[in-house]
Structure formats: C-alpha cells, structure tokens
Amino acid sequence: MEVGPSAFMALAAVLFSLGLYGAVARKSAVMVLMSLELMAVAVSLNLIALSRFVTPTEMTGQFFTIFIMVVSAAEIGLGLALVLAIYRQTRSIELSRMDTLKG
C-alpha cells in the first residue's frame, strides 16, 4: 500500500486546524506559542510532501522547511522573552489579562 500526497495533505490540514483552534481558543501565552509551532509543522509537512511527489529530483521543499525551522527557533526565543515580560508585569501568563500596553 502506497501513501499518496493526499494523505500527507490531509494530515497537514488536521494539524493546522488543531493549531489554529489552539491559537484562538487558549488563554495561556505558552499554549498559543505551542499552537503556532504546530501550525508551522503542518506547513513544513506540506512543503516536504509536495516536494517529494511533485519534483522528487529537487530539494526545494526541504530547503524551505529548514528556513521555517530557523524562523521557528527565533520565534521561540522571542516568544518566551515576551512571556517572561508579561509575567513580570501581571504575575500571570493569561493573555486575557493583557488589556493595556505600557511603555
């Protein structure tokens, strides 16, 4: 039994949907960041699967996935710094408590 590109696209759609639901429905900043990472993984899975099935001799999907991984690593560092700053101000990581922006 051979797995085709539609199976990978369906899996990526499910992962992206779960990530989108988590980013919209959660109140914790850490959970929102985790949901954004799940969405990035879904995009990476789509890129690799399409690269594998559409142009198997080229590695464009893999290169874009490595770029996404580098951007995700920077996002994690920046996101955790923001979560720490929010915690220092409000003593909570609940996003609903952040109602004003102070300089």
Number of other CB atoms surrounding residue 15 within 10 Å = 19
Where are the domains positioned within the chain?
A: 27-94
Residue appearing with tokens 């990035």: 40
Which tens digits make up the pLDDT trace of 42-70?
988 888 888 888 888 888 888 888 888 88
DSSP 96: G
Distance from C-alpha of 87 to C-alpha of 18, rounded to nearest angstrom: 26
**How is residue 20 written in tokens?**
């989108």
At residue 12, the pLDDT reads 93
Distance from C-alpha of 75 to C-alpha of 94, rounded to nearest angstrom: 19
At residue 88, the pLDDT reads 82
| pTM attached to this predicted model | 0.79
At residue 19, the pLDDT reads 93
